[in-house]
Structure formats: structure tokens, C-alpha cells
Structure 1
Amino acid sequence: MVSDMQREESGSWVNKNALDRVLAEGIHGTPEIKHDEKIHYLGEFRERVIRMLTKEQVEETAVYPEILQSLKDQRAAKVIISGDINYSSSEKYRRLAVKMGKTCTVVHDPALVGNVGLVVVGNNAVDVAVIEVPDRKTRLAQLGVPASLADAAGKKVCEKCYQKITEADPEEVINYRKLTLADRFWGEYCAAC
């Protein structure tokens, strides 16, 4: 209903005289271009989005390598994270953005709709055709990685499992650590085996 009113207001905005514009702006606020699009993509226009994660993807323990790659893109300017996501889940992406020299903003706005949890955006239109990042476990399963190894992200794994993930997807290695001899001595074991 609100978006229909805004479309009607912005559509007839040009045809109004100055007094009507001031009155309409006072009652309804300044008309906004592509309001529906902006509330879906955490306040940004779709054409500025380079990559996007859902809230569930951001809450996973692993970091998506696609986000790391998009932050390396020259067009990337900042990362925006939904305020609905808890701090411990989003902190890894905040640190990654700072490490890559990008700004990071957390948006707390009840007007936002949808399941978007994180967007990497540029200052100008980038027109990336596919911005959605496929689910990590599904992508790894298609590459032949066992589910137990995909679930072990963020944990220590043995040399054999580390080699499997390196061969399947070298960029995914950022989510795994090798078990050392000292780790084994203290009773740690491979999280995937």
C-alpha cells in the first residue's frame, strides 16, 4: 500500500505545482526512486550490488570465498550487513571488510524486507547479472566434497581432508586449519573423519 502511494506520488510529482509538492512532501516525505528495490537490498539499488548473502548464509561459521573475491573487485566500495544478524555471526565479515580496506555498515531498519543478510556494493552501478551466492554445502557437494568435511568448516582437519578441500575448491581453504602433531598429542582429532 505504501509503495503504491509512493509510486502514485512520484509519478504525478512532475505535474504538481510548487505548493502541492511542498504539501505532499510534508505529508508523505520526499518521493523515493525504486523504494521497493532499496528496502529489499538493505537500502541500496540492485544495480550497485556486486554480491549478496542471505541471513542464513551469514550466520554459518564459514566465510564465503565469493564475498572475499567480490571485496577484491575494484568496483566494491562497502559491505552492508542486516542488523537482524547477531554480532558473533557478522563479525567475520566486518573483519574481512576492514582487512580489505572497505567500509562496513550495519543497517537496523524495520522497513527492510526479505532475507538479504549481507551485500557488497559499489558507489556506482555495476550491473552484475548474478548476485546471489549459491549455498556453500550444495556447491561443495557438487564438487564431490563429503558432507562431513563441508560441516567441519572453521575447525581443524587432518592432512588428508585438508588436501581434499584444497583439490575441490582452493578458495575454500580459508575456512579450514590443519591439525598439527601437538594438536594430536593433546587429544584433538579431525572434525571431518
Structure 2
Amino acid sequence: MSMEIYDAKEKTKINFQKIQNEKNFYLGEFRENVISALKKQDIDENIQYRFLNLMKNKNAKLLKISRELNMKDIKKYIEYAEKINLNYRLVDGLSYEGDIGMVIVSKEPLENEDEDIIFEGEQELYVKAGLSPYYWEAEGKKICKKHYKLLEKKYPEKKEKFDLMGILDKMLGYKCPICTKENSNKGDI
């Protein structure tokens, strides 16, 4: 009988530790209260506009932001939260672990156990489509025919984010930003 009590006690202890670890991963929030989470490495001067849209979710009550992040990188998110009247809080904790930089917290628990709530940055989406991560940085710019054709083939829904370089662009010395990045990083490999 005492072994069963010991096992139940041990299971409770392990379960509590799992829950605590989960909270520490999501900046002090339970997973079921998180609408979406953004990794630290995806928070830079390139705003994740799809994440801003998630902040408008009718259940969103709070944007939690890690104090470890650079203020210039999070300023736009804070300004947007203020614009849509979403509370935000800068948090730090020695027990926070992992690479989560921001979480959108829900008013009430969600049934998101089977969902991937960690936001995929634009750069990751290009890589998943089989393209260079430098497409993300080149959005809104002109790109060479080679990279434009790859985009049309592998990720056509992003085609409107780019323009195709013309002969005049080449004559004026304009270089494809994706080619430039790829060539400058070949030495890093």
C-alpha cells in the first residue's frame, strides 16, 4: 500500500515539474493560455506582420515580451499593441528557459494541445518551401530571373512580394539581393 502512495506522490511531483518547465518556456504562461509564441531569433528589424495580426485575436489579453530583447526590435510590437489596446508587459526571469521572446496570452484556456503555437517566421517559411532564407530580406525588391523562377515554382503565393529585374536594372548596376547575400556568405561555409 505504501508503495502505491509513494508512486502517486512521485507522479504528482513529476507532473508538477513538467508544468513548471512548460510555464518557464512560455515566459511564465501555461501552454493552453498561449495563442502564439515568437522565437527570439525571429524578432529583429523585420517585423513579423502575421504575428501582428495574431495580436488582434479576439481572445488576446496580453503580449508578454522578454526583457532580453533589443528595444529597437520590439518597439513596433509595443506600438502596435498600444494602437489596438492590447496590454503588454516586459518580463524577465532567471527560470525562463528556451528561445521564446514574445507570447500572446489568451483571456481563457484554449484547446491547442495538438497545435504548433510557436510562430514560424517568414524566413523559416521560405526555407521550408526549399528556397534561400535570403528571400525574406529581399521582399519588396527586384530579384534576378533565376531566383524569380524558383519563387514561382516553389512558393508562388509570395510572388507579388517581388519584382523581376530588367535589362535596364542590370545596366545600371543593380544586383539581385539574394545573389549578393548568397555570394557573400559562401566564404562562411
Shorter chain as denominator, the TM-score bin is 0.5 to 0.7
The count of residues paired between Structure 1 and Structure 2 equals 151
> CA distance change for structure 1 residues 144 and 111 in 2, over 3 Å: closer, same or farther?
closer
Partner of 1:40: 25
Partner of 2:119: 133
Q: 1:69, 1:111 → 2: CA distance?
A: 29
Deviations 1:113-151 (A, max 9, x none): 111111011121022322012242131245577654422
Consecutive unaligned residues in structure 2, runs of 5 or more: 1-8, 164-173, 179-189
Work out whether 1:192 is the aligned partner of 2:177.
yes
Taking structure 2 as the reference length, what is the TM-score of the superposition? 0.62
Question: Could you say what secondary structure the match of 1:34 adopts?
Answer: helix
Q: 1:146, 1:168 → 2: CA distance?
A: 16
Work out whether 1:68 is the aligned partner of 2:57.
no
Work out whether 1:90 is the aligned partner of 2:79.
no
Structure 1 segments of 4+ aligned residues over 6 angstroms from their partners: none
The residue identity in structure 1 corresponding to 2:86 is K
Work out whether 1:52 is the aligned partner of 2:1.
no
User: 1:94 Cα deviation (Å)?
Assistant: 1.1
User: 1:34 Cα deviation (Å)?
Assistant: 3.1
Deviations 1:48-79 (A, max 9, x none): 00111111111x22222331221121111111
* Contact kept? 2:61, 2:106, Cα under 8 Å: yes
Q: 2:134, 2:30 → 1: CA distance?
A: 38
Percent of aligned pairs with the same amino acid: 23
Consecutive unaligned residues in structure 1, runs of 5 or more: 1-7, 13-30, 179-188
Taking structure 1 as the reference length, what is the TM-score of the superposition? 0.60
Q: 1:121, 1:41 → 2: CA distance?
A: 10
Q: RMSD of the alignment, in Å?
A: 3.9
Q: 2:73, 2:99 → 1: CA distance?
A: 15
Deviations 1:84-120 (A, max 9, x none): 1111111121112222221111102212111111101
> CA distance change for structure 1 residues 113 and 191 in 2, over 3 Å: closer, same or farther?
same
Give the one of 96, 102, 108 matched to 1:112. 96
> CA distance change for structure 1 residues 169 and 100 in 2, over 3 Å: closer, same or farther?
farther
Partner of 1:102: 86
Q: 1:192, 1:62 → 2: CA distance?
A: 16
> CA distance change for structure 1 residues 140 and 134 in 2, over 3 Å: closer, same or farther?
same
